[in-house]
Amino acid sequence: MKRTTIVDVGRLAGVSAKTVSRVLNDEPHVSAAVKQRVREAADQLDYHPNVFAQALVRRKSNMIGLIYENPSPSYVVELQRGVLERLKGERYRLVVIPIRSVQEHAAEVVGILRSAALDGVVLAPPASDNPIILNQLRDARILCARIVPTRMIEAAPSNLVDDVAAARAIAEYVIELGHREIAIIRGDPTHASTEARMLGYMQALHTAGIDMRLERIEPGLFTFDSGLVAGRQIFGRGDRPTAILAQNDDMAVGAMMAAREFGLSIPDDVSIVGFDDSEVSRVTWPRLTTIRQPVFEMAVAATEMLVAQLEGQEFAMRIMHPHELMIRESAAPPRP
């Protein structure tokens, strides 16, 4: 079939191809009536502009990047959904750039962006916190917006969540249930959120007069497998805790699997809680008590910040997003 062109759209709308191009590129000095006729003709013919041709006209690629490292599939899906939601109806297209280790490859990231000719980038943690990436973006004059950074907050538009307060809230909930024998599964040590959440846990424990035993703190990597390994270590000891605080949902679900391997019932024998409120927290059984951080909403807001910069519009430099304690069935008072 013959491909529909702007000549066809112009013929149906009764205007020149040049006028069609001006309308589709949002150029000024075209009347509202003409714009409407052109857009109706384009819809009728199912015409879609060539984004690469538009990029040549505007000297922009019309593509933005999303950089992330987090290995949690649920977290990544929420990020992508949020960016794509905001880009509906926009000329910009999304390029997803997963980085295996931001810490190891930080110096290469901006080079990747430049070779892809991206107009701007949304940075998810830990890239949103990396000073090498932020400084190189500034030097290359590549616009960005960030999701939950903890450092250099004024360096670029940022979407924030108080990880310390959120972690403190879920630890306080577990303590209020009556737990005193509590273990912790930490996240990836290269992510700033790991230390922030650890601080929140420790604040809650200190306030309650509970001493945290170092042997009950297990390392993790924000993955299911690392949570499974940590859970096996915790339950393999003789002095089993009555509750586990996991720093994300994937690790919490891994610890739940380990509990079942040891013949333990959740929450009767052990309570397990997570962090993020990702999809896995809602489909596992029992459903996971966790902290909801609005990943989808933050991705939408970060993309809004970036698009506004690209379009020369006003934008917020900082947005604080609320967290929420999601109480479900994986935590209960300890057995007497």
Of residues 97, 35, 100, the one with CA closest to residue 63:
97
The domain in which residue 34 lies consists of 6-46
Average pLDDT value for residue range 291-305: 94
* Overall number of domains in the chain: 3
As a whole number of angstroms, the distance between CA 186 and CA 184 comes to 6
Q: What is the CATH number of the domain that holds 84?
A: 3.40.50.2300
- Bond before 294 cis per omega within 30 degrees: no
* Contact call for residues 258 and 228 (beta carbons, < 8 A): yes
In a domain, 334, yes or no: no
Q: Are residues 286 and 253 in the same domain?
A: yes
Please name the amino acid found at residue 140: A
Residue 190 shares a structural domain with residue 77? no
Q: 329 lies in a domain?
A: no
- Say if residues 251 and 185 touch (Cβ distance below 8 Å): yes
DSSP type of residue 276: B
Which pair of tokens denotes residue 326? 């999601």
Do 142 and 106 reside in the same domain of the chain?
yes
Distance, in Å, from the CA atom of 314 to the CA atom of 316, rounded to the nearest integer, reads 7
Same domain, 120 and 23: no
Q: Which of 68, 72, 73, 71 is nearest to 94 (CA)?
A: 68
Can you tell me the mean pLDDT for 164-185? 97
Q: At 217, which helix (H) or strand (E)?
A: strand 217-218
| 288 and 167 fall within a common domain | yes
Do 127 and 196 fall into the same domain?
no
- Taking the model in full, what pTM does it have? 0.76
Q: What is the pLDDT of residues 119-163, one digit of tens each?
A: 899 999 888 888 898 888 888 888 999 999 887 888 889 999 999
Dump pLDDT digits (tens) for 229-287. Answer: 999 999 998 889 999 999 999 999 999 999 999 999 999 999 999 999 988 899 999 99
Instruction: Name the nearest CA neighbour of 238 among 311, 181, 307, 161.
Output: 181
